[in-house]
């Protein structure tokens, strides 16, 4: 589903945010990306949903070679990837329904279809009763659930979450992780960047650890230390 081979990314001339990342995430896997602040977690995720481009190396996502992807194909790729952020990124002036429907408008869905799909994804996160609410009247956990619903509405094959519980207390964080786990159980490939090791330990999933732009361990390869340009991942 996602394959990286020897990927490098630098934002500034003399500093690389990612240095030779190689990994493979199979369809339907749930993977945590961990590591200290500045390790490159967000950068790695941005490369996958084409928010940034790699300087070197190969990235394949859902069968597409991102280096060869034409600009016009990026929206197509993004429709297959749902993204959730630490700060929710909901539009405050729009209702819950409109926040979700916004993602559907671009594909030209009818009003009836939008209602049906918004209702369906809100049900999955347990918030159908808030369909006419506004983000600022929701708790942080509820806002993140709306953001997850929005990410799901185009039925993505990959869900990416960058520190999805960073602004939430421990109990609510656990609820959000449970929702992400349910999404995974239904077959979606899920990638979660977090430095909350309590959550990571409790969930018992594959963990890829980054440090200083390199992949320093991958629990899917417990016996083999991840290094340099080797392809790491499940066979
Ligand atoms: N747009 C940018 N311009 C310049 N440097 C950047 C940019 N984005 C990230 N960086 C640098 O790249 C490195 C990796 O950043 P990244 O955001 O990927 O780390 P992270 O692991 O997500 O950290 P955090 O846990 O704090 O979110 C950092 O040194 C950061 O300062
Ligand atoms: Mg980050």
Task: For residues 207 and 220, state if they share a domain.
Answer: yes
Task: For residues 145 and 42, state if they share a domain.
Answer: no
Which CATH number does the domain housing residue 233 bear?
Answer: 3.40.50.300
Cα 179 to Cα 60, 148, 184: the distances in Å are 27, 9, 9
Q: With a 6 A CB cut-off, is 37 part of the ligand 1 pocket? A: yes
Task: For residues 118 and 94, state if they share a domain.
Answer: yes
From 112, 140, 155, give the residue that closes a domain.
155
Mutate to test the pocket of ligand 1, among 11, 161, 215 (most ligand atoms within 8 A of CB): 11
Nearest protein Cα to ligand 1, atom 1: 11
Which residue spans within 13-52 are E strands per DSSP? 15-25, 30-34
Asked, for residue 85, whether it belongs to a domain, the answer is no
Q: With a 6 A CB cut-off, is 41 part of the ligand 1 pocket? A: yes
Give the Cα separation of 80 and 43 in Å (integer): 19
Task: For residues 167 and 234, state if they share a domain.
Answer: yes
From 130, 155, 180, give the residue that closes a domain.
155
Tell me the pLDDT of the chain (235 aa) as tens digits: 999 999 999 998 888 999 999 999 999 999 999 999 999 999 999 999 999 999 999 999 999 999 888 888 888 898 899 999 999 999 999 999 999 998 887 677 888 999 999 999 999 999 999 999 999 999 999 999 999 999 999 999 999 999 999 999 999 999 999 999 999 999 999 999 999 999 999 999 999 999 999 999 999 986 555 454 445 544 4
Mutate to test the pocket of ligand 1, among 18, 35, 36, 43 (most ligand atoms within 8 A of CB): 43
Task: For residues 151 and 164, state if they share a domain.
Answer: no
Asked, for residue 170, whether it belongs to a domain, the answer is yes
Q: In ligand 1, which atom is closest to the CA atom of 12?
A: 4
Asked, for residue 224, whether it belongs to a domain, the answer is yes
Task: For residues 151 and 166, state if they share a domain.
Answer: no
Query: In this structure, how many other beta carbons lie within 10 angstroms of the beta carbon of residue 145?
Result: 26
Q: With a 6 A CB cut-off, is 17 part of the ligand 1 pocket? A: yes
Q: Containing domain of residue 125, as a range?
A: 90-155
Cα(130) to ligand 2 centroid in Å equals 29
Nearest protein Cα to ligand 1, atom 3: 11
Threshold 0.75, pTM exceeds: yes
DSSP secondary structure, 82-112, as one string: EEEETT----TTS-HHHHHHHHHHTTT--HH
Number of compact structural domains in the chain: 2
């Amino acid at each position: 589903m996602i394959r990286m081979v020897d990927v490098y990314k630098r934002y500034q001339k003399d500093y690389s945010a990612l240095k030779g990342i190689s990994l493979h995430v199979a369809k339907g896997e749930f993977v945590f990306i961990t590591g200290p602040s500045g390790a490159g977690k967000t950068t790695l995720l941005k490369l996958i949903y084409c928010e940034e481009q790699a300087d070197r190396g190969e990235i394949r996502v859902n069968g597409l070679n991102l280096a060869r992807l034409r600009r016009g194909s990026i929206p197509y790729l993004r429709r297959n990837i749902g993204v959730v952020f630490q700060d929710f990124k909901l539009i405050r002036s729009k209702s819950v329904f409109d926040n979700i429907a916004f993602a559907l408008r671009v594909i030209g869905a009818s009003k009836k279809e939008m209602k049906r799909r918004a209702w369906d994804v809100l049900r999955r996160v347990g918030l159908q009763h808030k369909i006419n609410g506004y983000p600022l009247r929701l708790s942080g956990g509820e806002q993140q659930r709306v953001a997850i619903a929005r990410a799901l509405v185009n039925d993505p094959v990959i869900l990416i979450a960058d520190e999805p519980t960073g602004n939430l207390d421990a109990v609510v964080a656990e609820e959000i992780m449970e929702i992400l786990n349910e999404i995974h159980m239904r077959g979606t490939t899920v990638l979660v960047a977090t430095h909350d090791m309590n959550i990571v330990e409790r969930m018992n999933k594959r963990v890829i650890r980054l440090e200083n732009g390199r992949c320093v361990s991958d629990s899917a390869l417990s016996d083999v230390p991840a290094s340099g340009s080797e392809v790491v991942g499940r066979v």
